[in-house]
Amino acid sequence: MQAPALLLSALLAAAPLIAQQPPAQQPPARSLQEDVIPTSAGDLTIAFVGHGTLMFRHGGRVVHVDPVSREADYSRMPRADLILITHEHGDHLDAAAVEMLRKDDTQVVVSPSCEGRVQRAMVMRNGEAREVAGFRVEALPAYNLVHTRAGGQPYHPRGNGNGYVISFADVRVYVAGDTENTPEMKALRSIAVAFLPMNLPYTMTPEMVADAARSIRPRILYPYHFGQTDPQVLVRLLAGEEGIEVRVREMR
């Protein structure tokens, strides 16, 4: 009978040591690369979350574009005042990430192809412009002109998706979504910062992006959503193009 008693005594002695062990640490949040752009109403901070996912902070408010859980731990990210979703594909629409970022007063804007897929979301159609969460937001068409699936269906049909122009005071930022160099895109003016996609075969070639940039003439051009396409090709194509600074950032 002494053996069980000895075992019980040993377990009781070890219990305080077990209880005092610190809880398992959560993995640290990935450090995001950020750029700061001055505006007439304070700095705009751009965080490059990954792939087609971005976060903007301005005037104490936060805008998330295409939040996707595989790109970030959204439990550690600032909650959103405004969430913009460009289209329905899984690398852009993640309803769980949207819900994680919501506050009671968060506004969510989606494209027509996302209607009904996100709770309490406002649909903006191509060509619409609204004041949302204190920002002026314009919805631009985002579609393919050339690249199609095997049966001839565009990867992104016209009318499904949006690009967005967001005004941060006097700085207009264009996030194009998944698109090619459409006439509507090339007609844009007074764009300070542009995010143009460049992954094949779904969006633009570097040559298409360069063509669009020469029409839009943003002060700062970020290739994004570039997948396996080499962004340095675009840098070379626009080398010496006065007034357009091409910035390549890690988008994973």
Low-confidence spans in the chain with pLDDT less than 70: 1-30, 252
Query: What is the H or E stretch that residue 11 is in?
Result: helix 2-19
pLDDT digits (tens, 9 = 90+) for 46-69: 999 998 999 999 999 999 999 999
Contact 157, 126 (CB under 8 A): no
Domains of the chain listed by start with CATH number: 33-246 (3.60.15.10)
Task: State the residue for tokens 């460049």.
Answer: 198
Burial tier of 244 (Cβ tally within 10 Å: 0-12, 13-18, 19+): middle
**211: its two tokens:** 């063509």
Task: Strands of the chain (E only): list them.
Answer: 33-39, 42-50, 53-58, 61-65, 82-84, 107-110, 122-123, 129-132, 135-142, 161-168, 171-175, 193-197, 220-224, 245-246
Task: State the residue for tokens 């992954």.
Answer: 199
pTM over 0.85: yes
